[in-house]
Amino acid sequence: MLAKRIIPCLDVKNGRVVKGVNFLSLRDAGDPVEIAKGYNLSGADELVFLDITATLEARNTVIEMVQRVAEQVFIPFTVGGGIRTVEDIREILSAGADKISLNSAAVANPSLIKEASDRFGSQCIVIAVDVKKRPDGEGKTSGLKESEASGRIPGGADPAFPSGYEVFVSGGTVPTGLDAVEWARKVEFLGAGEILLTSMDKDGTKSGYDNTITRLIADAVPIPVIASGGAGSLEDFYDALTEGGAGAVLAASLFHFGEISIMDLKEYLSGKGVPVRKISPALFRWQQMKKDSLGLVPAVVVEDSSKEVLMLAYMDFEAFELTLETGIMHYHSRSRGKLWKKGETSGHYQHVCSARIDCDMDTLLFFVDQEGAACHTGAHSCFFTDINDM
């Protein structure tokens, strides 16, 4: 069985992450790039960014944000909002996004879905579907053939909406007259690779996902459905993935404000028998450490044979992970702002013998076999100057 995905959603307005209730009453949640960096190291499987203002004037801001996120994040991320043309899609994918999300533009011009899918591949095309339950009764199409469902409307539901749910666009402000399940079938036929399904009735309420419409759509289409809107507890995620049949669950405020951690959620789901992508041992260890304002941890390096202190350097997660994986010391160069493999140019590699961390979980200690000099000056150790000689 495919692993179920955990996806934080970042609603972006004027370059900031915001969150509200029922698409209203927005409050600031932080800088999108900094939040994305945190999620990249939290065990999140993917990220979704939605530009909820989606004005043409904001396009350059969105492209810049995508570029900055792509530099910092190593998990797939989707960008949506204000995308109207194939050229818009090309720009966002070229800036570093892995997928794009269409909503209002897909309803206004369904052929855009096919055109985009043909050009970029269905794996890049996510169709966001915002739905509300109809007030005139709930239909049911689950388990029925399409021809049967169109003529069988239990509970007195409006025949125009056999599922009992209507699609909305323009940030949930404009009803479309489209039935949710029928629209889901159509976008899949046109080439959508995934459906991001948001219950507007549930959005921000923390009362649980709408598993009725999630299951209806999951049963109606062969592509993954991402459940969105209403998560309030660990059980809500489990219910959406099992009762709702979702392939992934998306949430915002619960993650943004630290009410539920992705690591705790994955442990809970795994314990309930739901397959999830495991957090790597390196990532688990890194999550326990205290970092400085740049997200770095200092590493003291000692020669294993002589116990002489050789140097002090800094690690980000990438350097820490590669050090553990390869057994050769890697660091983050603060001056150059990039990964640094010790000995890559000089041949003076440092081979890891063992590693420790201090009681405050904010400083690493590595014992290494040193090839040649540790210091760039050619000295064996960087600590060759007596402080009295300064």
Q: Any idea which residues carry the catalytic annotation?
A: 11, 130
Taking residue 124's Cβ as centre, other Cβ atoms within 10 Å add up to 19
Of 230, 223, 224, 160, nearest to 199 by C-alpha is 230
Rounded CA separation 305/289 (Å): 27
Q: What is the DSSP letter of 3?
A: P
Q: Burial of 251 by CB count in 10 Å (0-12 exposed, 13-18 middle, 19+ buried)?
A: buried
Residue 206, CA distances (Å) to 237, 250, 259, 293, 368 in order: 11, 13, 11, 32, 50
Where b means 16+ CB within 10 Å and e means fewer, 297-315 reads bebbbbbeeeeeebbebbb
SS3 at position 230 = coil
Structure tokens at 355: 């590693």
SS3 at position 354 = strand
Rounded CA separation 96/66 (Å): 6
User: Distance of alpha carbon 121 from its chain centroid, rounded?
Assistant: 20
Structure tokens at 251: 């949430």
Of 70, 60, 127, nearest to 100 by C-alpha is 127
HSE toward the beta carbon, residue 210, CA cutoff 13 A: 24
User: Distance of alpha carbon 99 from its chain centroid, rounded?
Assistant: 11
3-state SS of 311-335 is: EEEEECHHHHHHHHHHCECEEEECC
